[in-house]
Structure 1
Amino acid sequence: MPSLNKLNRLVTKINTAPVFCRSWLLTLLFGRTIKFAGTAGVQVEALDLRQAKLRLANRRKVQNHIGSVHAAATALLGESASGFLLGMHVADDKIPLLKSMQIQYLKRSTGALTAVAQLDDAQISHIQHSDKGEVVIRVLIKDQLGIEPVEAVYTWAWIPKVRKPA
């Protein structure tokens, strides 16, 4: 599969580094690119062409009034997983945009949250071969007990960048 964009090339290079430092390097890259996620402390555990796995520790700065990860921080975690994965496939001359998110909060979470987003072959082909379009990505978010406290679906779109006149 070709390296379609700068992000893809950087992640591919990071994934050749020793295993012990990959997550740290991916998190550094992500936090510098998406400042809000970096501020919240979203950690990238793994990222490749098919799957993104991100984690958010239950720390004071992301907690709600009952001591669990805040609803907005939970939404950010899912957005980050789906958006980072989409970003692996959107060409550099396109702009990825979050179109919508549907999140149902089912129960209180316990401890850290982990989000896993995946793309199948048809979705990847659609992203790579469409000038503009959209894709729906379900993100599995689990707490440290393995319970899925939310159901989350993110719809991402991409459009061509507007070229400035020369």
Structure 2
Amino acid sequence: MSKANSTLTIWRNLASKPGGKWTFSRLLCLKAPYFGSISPQFEELRPEYCRISMPKRRAVLNHLGTVHAIAMCNMAELAGGTMTEVTVPATHRWIPNGMTVEYLKKAKTDLIAIATPASAIDWSTAGEYKVNVVVQDTQGEVVFRALITMWVSPKKS
């Protein structure tokens, strides 16, 4: 089974069970510990779509009492990377190689990040795969946007 398929299979097996989304979120943070710093909660995951939430709490605040810009970058990379993980074919691998961000307004509440593809990719060759991530506050206002460039290439045999 491919890594992408195993991630999606784990999600599908856990998401509908009591505490399953929380368990999946913790498992992913065990695999990539830095993401644990934002206490993410996966809400929805499928090929070409990922939605995660992040609580506003002291550990992610800046000196103004709003969510720190880098915490939102971390959230964007997690959503974009996980969406890419469950989207690329089993024959391919990926790695982020760039991210452009826009801080649009102060993030004063819990946040939701939604990652979707920004571009199509020809899976027959190595290339860039662009991912849009929008971060919204609890009122649905967009507070942050990111465009992440993923390098996707066939796995070496």
Percent identity over the alignment is 26
Three-state SS of the structure 1 residue aligned to 2:23 is helix
Per the alignment, residue 85 of structure 1 pairs with: 83
Distance 1:102 1:48 in 2: 24
**Structure 2: where are the runs of 5+ without partners?**
none
The TM-score normalised by the length of structure 2 is 0.85
Match of 2:9 among 9, 12, 32: 12
Q: CA RMSD in A?
A: 2.3
**Offset at residue 106 of structure 1 (A):** 1.4
Distance 1:130 1:36 in 2: 32
Contact map agreement 1:14 1:25 (CA 8 A) in 2 = no
Distance 2:117 2:5 in 1: 15
Distance 2:147 2:73 in 1: 10
Per the alignment, residue 139 of structure 2 pairs with: 145
Which of 24-33 and 70-79 deviates more?
Answer: 24-33
Per the alignment, residue 129 of structure 2 pairs with: 135
Three-state SS of the structure 1 residue aligned to 2:18 is helix
Matches within 5 A, 1:90-129: 90-91=88-89, 94-119=92-117, 123=120, 126=121, 129=123
AA in 2 matched with 1:132: A
AA in 1 matched with 2:23: L
**Offset at residue 159 of structure 1 (A):** 3.3
Quick one: structure 1 residues 118 and 22, their matched pair in 2 at CA, closer, same or farther if it must change by over 3 Å?
A: farther
AA in 2 matched with 1:15: R
Distance 1:59 1:107 in 2: 18
Query: How many residue pairs get matched?
Result: 156
Contact map agreement 2:92 2:155 (CA 8 A) in 1 = yes
**Structure 1: where are the runs of 5+ without partners?**
none
Quick one: structure 1 residues 154 and 75, their matched pair in 2 at CA, closer, same or farther if it must change by over 3 Å?
A: same
**Offset at residue 91 of structure 1 (A):** 4.7
Contact map agreement 2:109 2:138 (CA 8 A) in 1 = yes
Matches within 5 A, 1:21-32: 21-32=19-30
Matched, 1:38 2:20: no
**Offset at residue 97 of structure 1 (A):** 1.4
